Structure 1
Amino acid sequence: MTRTPRLAVVGSINIDLIARTTTLPRPGETIGGGSFTRLPGGKGANQAVAAAALGIATRMIGAVGDDADGALARETLVAAGVDASAVRTVDEPTGVALICVDANGENQISVCPGANAAVAVQGPDSADAFAPGEAVLVQLEVPMAAVVDAARACTGFFAVNAAPAAELPEEVLQRADLVIVNETEFAAMPALHGDGAGGAPSRDRDRDRTSGGPLVAVSLGADGARLLRDGVEVARASASAVDVVSTVGAGDAFCAALVAALISGVAEDAALAAACAVGAAAVADERSQPALQQLGAYLP
């Protein structure tokens, strides 16, 4: 790695209520004999904690409620080395994710946003405003207005984890350096597919993009991941074979690792390989915020 840059993660902060059963229930079905855990989560918080664990100076921009869950979420971020000074306390309760996980690590998730609906990106005069050149990572578990405001305010590397799948405003797509999706999300977002013919160079603020659209990372689960630029594959990486405990935090760990590697000057193919290695480490951990090593441990 050539540098250790600063990263701001704008996103959700939840408490995960996790039920583990042998199989996932079908509609109307009750599955007994499960086990239950209550752990800090939320796509934004998961990615911030992972980035900090990988060695990136990271801060979190989000919102929690004035409740015990909010206090736990904030304390967990700080304990992980994340700057939580821009996490606001609001009147709504802290967000909750109801998660069912089966014996193979597959999951079903229902999210109740709560305080996450109040997440906002402050103006340029705010003490919490993005620093010049600060990298920004956002997801779609917060209001789209916050994502748009982040795109407008960011002057550094701008990455969007487009999950849950939703149509991205053209302004966000034009600003994004990197969009990260899984196979299902990619299929639901044709604007990411490109035409395969390359694009005209564009310049946005202080960065010089060499193609017409963002770099698109598509995670493929056990099959690894691929990187596309204007619909053309530019890198592919395989996934390590591991015993799967839970896939809940794997996608967020993958996102954090890919962004961390790219903003640290790692080549695209090596960055993708490292992200897949981090994702594999994550599925071996039951937590949404798994224990990780420094980024260098995962580089090929």
Structure 2
Amino acid sequence: MSISVQNISKSFKNKTALSDISFEVKEGELFGLIGPDGAGKTTLFRILTTLLIPNKGEATIANFDIIKDYKSIRNNVGYMPGRFSLYQDLTVEENLEFFATIFGTTIEENYDLIKDIYVQIEPFKKRRAGKLSGGMKQKLALSCALIHKPKVLFLDEPTTGVDPVSRKEFWEMLKRLQTKGITILVSTPYMDEAALCDRIALIQDGKILEIDTPREIVKHYPKTIYNVKAANMYLLIESLNIYKHKYSVYPFGEFVHYTDSRTNFNPEDLKLYLKTKNLKNISIEITQATIEDTFMELAK
């Protein structure tokens, strides 16, 4: 296994950040840690990259122990923290050269690994990092994390605050990196990005809720979900929440995802009820469960 985590726990004063976390990531796998802000993702990443020591449990990265072999881990992993942490007053080129020098290598030596990413920011190589757009900062940070050819790459919420086009490009880059044999552990609060991973772990309040492939996790959703829509979204949500047979009600884009507590649910009954609430243009259709639906169910 490229990453092995066994019973890791971490507390800060009276706050438990991680509780008995265990999972494994295979070599060359793109593994996603999926959960909202405050779920414990960043704390776990800092432990696995040897920046924090756990209260209990153990972990190995590329067969190196996170406590005993911390120096070896730092030489063999790439880490891209959630907040842009490069030197903002250095240029793109100077940042990359600096990180290459730290790891005793050169840009030229590992250029083949970062070429697909770097060519997109090369026209701005003389620009200071602090003056780059969000998407360009992201590409520079990834290039710096890869310049020493790491065995394992840790990416902590790499697409937060980045535009949709840059997000799509970033995940395409990760897929290409996978073909080069790099193991990737990525955290994200975006449920749509979870579907792009080989396997995912859903995390909430420092605990793992479930680990599986995105497809298998969605299969476990226990109920039929309906897309419900009406002319007045606010009134629709309010009306569904007070409906005596409702099981769950979640806004989902232009729809509301609704599940009913009855086994013999008839959508026409719900439509009649909504009409009594003065709702217009009502539509109710069966839809497929998503990872977000499954997460909300598991987190109850």
Which category of TM-score, normalised to the shorter sequence, fits these structures? under 0.3
- TM-score, with length taken from structure 2: 0.27
- TM-score, with length taken from structure 1: 0.27
Higher relative contact order (CA 8 A, sep 6+): 2
Q: Which has the larger radius of gyration?
A: 2
